[in-house]
Structure 1
Amino acid sequence: MTKKRITKIDPEEKLSHYLDHQSNQKKRKSQNKISASLSNLHSERKSALVKRLGLIITISIICLICLGYYISPLANVRSVRVEGADDLPAEEVVKTADIKASDRVIDYLLHWNDVDEDLANRYTEVKNVDIKVNHFNQLNLNIVEFKTIGYIKKEKGYCKILSNGKLGTQLISWNKIDQDKPVFIGYNHEVSLKNDLQLFNSLPEEFQNQIKLLSGNTRRKSQVIFVMKNGNVVIGNISTIKRKLKYYNEINNKVKRNSLIDLEVGAYSRPLTSSEKRAYGLI
């Protein structure tokens, strides 16, 4: 019999081709991933560089524009407009703020608090100042004043009585005052004005709105006189008037125009005499 030939097969040799193929596949995939990753990284770096360059260029252009504006005549103050303070003289306000045509607009924007302080020190009416710029070189001074509580009669006009307890710096004519606000007349002493002002502020708003005048021409320091908008006069005592106001409406509804309502000692009324009407400015 013929012996069969046995061929020996080495498994490792047979598998080596397959394993080599698999290894090559993994290497190619790995290389492709690295290549893609490097490409993305390069793209991101390029994009970041472009953004940085764009930002630098933009900032540089803005800086050049600002510098060009600052050194140009366009940056000089061309005009000043004063708003919110009709009773204050505009030219004097600008002079007090020390604003000159040769100055730079931006200097006042950076140091607006100096202008605020200068005007507040000069004018008791000024609460604060806001500075704005229009058309590159026009300064707008927007002045906010303290609230006006009333007015005090002076020899040649009227001064505002402000919510900060001070008097305004400007004299105002009768036709320019707010007719809805009370006028304090006959006050030669600051102490009596201060006391009556405190009393006025403590009164009910409904009663405040009916007062036309407060007279300082009283017989006693403790006395207070209100000339009402309806033509009547109310007399009271500083320490008791608030408590006795509960009788006012009842009496006021019964009396005629130009009557005296006395709440100082009791609570009664009578017609005003001609001399009293003249003294209180009712005729």
Structure 2
Amino acid sequence: MAKKNVTKIDPRKELSPYLNHVSNQKKKKKNTKVSTSLSKLHLQRRKSLSKNLGIILGFSIIAILCFGYYISPLANINSVQVTGAPDLSAKEVVESSGMEVRDKVFDYLFKNKKLTNNLTAKYPEVKSAAVSVKGLNNLVIQIHEYETIGYIKDGTKYRKILSNGKIGSQALLWDNINQDKPIFIGYNQRVSLKSDLKLFNSLDAEFRDQVKLLSGSTRRKTQIILVMKDGNVVIGNVATLKNKIKYYNAIKAKAGKNALIDLEIGAFSRPLSTSEKKAYGIS
């Protein structure tokens, strides 16, 4: 039997072109990807550098402008306006604040605490103060005052009685006060004023609003006299009036107008005499 000729084929030799082609394609893709990544990285770095340079340049320009403004005459205080304290002299407030025209505007923008300390040292009515800028170089001092509880008569004028228990620095004319607030008269001793004021503040707001006048001219230190807006007069004891004031409306309804309602010991009422009306300023 005749032998067949067998041709030997090397698989690696046959596959070599294909394998080389695939390998080359992978290398090309890899090189392309690396090249693309590097390009993107360079682009991102350029953008980041440009952004940082822009920020630094912007801050530098702002800093130069601020410094130029600060050293220029435009930064000097041109005027000072005072708001929130109509009874205080604006000129005296500015003088007490320590501000001067040659000072710089920015020097006072962050000194509200010092400003408040300067003003409260002179004016009991000032609770706090703050500074703001209006325009380029005009300052505004905004003052916040303590609430006015009433007024104490001082000769022919009146001074505020403040919620912090102090007396206002300004002597005001009758036309310049809030006439809805009660007037405290005859209080020559601050001790009696303090105790009566403490009692008054402890009463219900509805009753306080009806009080026109409190008189310190009493027969006893423990006595308190209140003249009401409805023309009645209430006499009480400082220690017990708060508990007895709840009977006021019921007694007033029976007593009518211009009556003396005595709550000092018991609880009774009678019409006011002509001399009493005159003494309490009731017409």
TM-score band (shorter)? over 0.9
Contact kept in structure 2, 1:156 and 1:171, CA below 8 Å: no
Structure 1 length as normaliser, TM-score? 0.96
Q: State the secondary structure of the residue aligned to 1:231.
A: coil
Tell me, in whole angstroms, the C-alpha distance in 2 between the residues paired with 1:196 and 1:91.
Answer: 35
What are the equivalent positions in structure 2 for 1:115-154 lying under 5 Å apart?
115-154=115-154
Q: State the secondary structure of the residue aligned to 2:121.
A: helix
What residue in structure 1 maps to residue 67 of structure 2? 67
What residue in structure 2 maps to residue 184 of structure 1? 184
RMSD value, Cα: 1.4
Structure 2 length as normaliser, TM-score? 0.96
Amino acid at match of 1:182: P
Tell me, in whole angstroms, the C-alpha distance in 2 between the residues paired with 1:206 and 1:18.
Answer: 103
Tell me, in whole angstroms, the C-alpha distance in 2 between the residues paired with 1:275 and 1:164.
Answer: 36
Tell me, in whole angstroms, the C-alpha distance in 2 between the residues paired with 1:186 and 1:88.
Answer: 25
Tell me, in whole angstroms, the C-alpha distance in 1 between the residues paired with 2:12 and 2:246.
Answer: 118
What are the equivalent positions in structure 2 for 1:8-87 lying under 5 Å apart?
8-87=8-87
The runs of 5 or more residues in structure 2 that have no matched partner are none
The question of 1:233 aligning with 2:226 is answered no
Tell me, in whole angstroms, the C-alpha distance in 1 between the residues paired with 2:66 and 2:238.
Answer: 63
Tell me, in whole angstroms, the C-alpha distance in 1 between the residues paired with 2:238 and 2:204.
Answer: 14
Contact kept in structure 1, 2:187 and 2:216, CA below 8 Å: yes
Identity of aligned residues (%): 57
The question of 1:99 aligning with 2:99 is answered yes
Shift of 1:213: 0.3
What residue in structure 1 maps to residue 164 of structure 2? 164
Contact kept in structure 2, 1:149 and 1:181, CA below 8 Å: yes
Tell me, in whole angstroms, the C-alpha distance in 2 between the residues paired with 1:246 and 1:112.
Answer: 45
Q: State the secondary structure of the residue aligned to 1:170.
A: coil
Contact kept in structure 1, 2:255 and 2:269, CA below 8 Å: yes
Contact kept in structure 2, 1:261 and 1:268, CA below 8 Å: yes
* Range moving further from structure 2, 104-113 or 48-57: 104-113
Shift of 1:126: 0.5
Tell me, in whole angstroms, the C-alpha distance in 1 between the residues paired with 2:232 and 2:2.
Answer: 154
Amino acid at match of 1:141: I
Contact kept in structure 2, 1:126 and 1:146, CA below 8 Å: yes
Tell me, in whole angstroms, the C-alpha distance in 1 between the residues paired with 2:61 and 2:110.
Answer: 22
Shift of 1:4: 5.6
Contact kept in structure 2, 1:232 and 1:259, CA below 8 Å: yes
Q: Deviations along 1:105-143, whole A, 9 cap, x unmatched?
A: 000112232111100111100000011101110100000
Tell me, in whole angstroms, the C-alpha distance in 2 between the residues paired with 1:116 and 1:242.
Answer: 36
Contact kept in structure 2, 1:235 and 1:261, CA below 8 Å: yes
Tell me, in whole angstroms, the C-alpha distance in 2 between the residues paired with 1:247 and 1:54.
Answer: 77
What residue in structure 2 maps to residue 280 of structure 1? 280
Alignment coverage as a number of residue pairs: 283
What residue in structure 1 maps to residue 114 of structure 2? 114
Shift of 1:179: 1.2
Contact kept in structure 1, 2:115 and 2:130, CA below 8 Å: no
Q: State the secondary structure of the residue aligned to 2:57.
A: helix
What are the equivalent positions in structure 2 for 1:198-237 lying under 5 Å apart?
198-237=198-237
Amino acid at match of 2:11: P
* Range moving further from structure 2, 154-163 or 265-274: 265-274
Amino acid at match of 1:40: K
Contact kept in structure 2, 1:126 and 1:145, CA below 8 Å: yes
Tell me, in whole angstroms, the C-alpha distance in 2 between the residues paired with 1:217 and 1:143.
Answer: 35
Shift of 1:254: 2.4
Contact kept in structure 2, 1:96 and 1:118, CA below 8 Å: yes
Q: Deviations along 1:144-202, whole A, 9 cap, x unmatched?
A: 00011111111141111111111111111111111111111000111100000010011
Shift of 1:72: 1.1
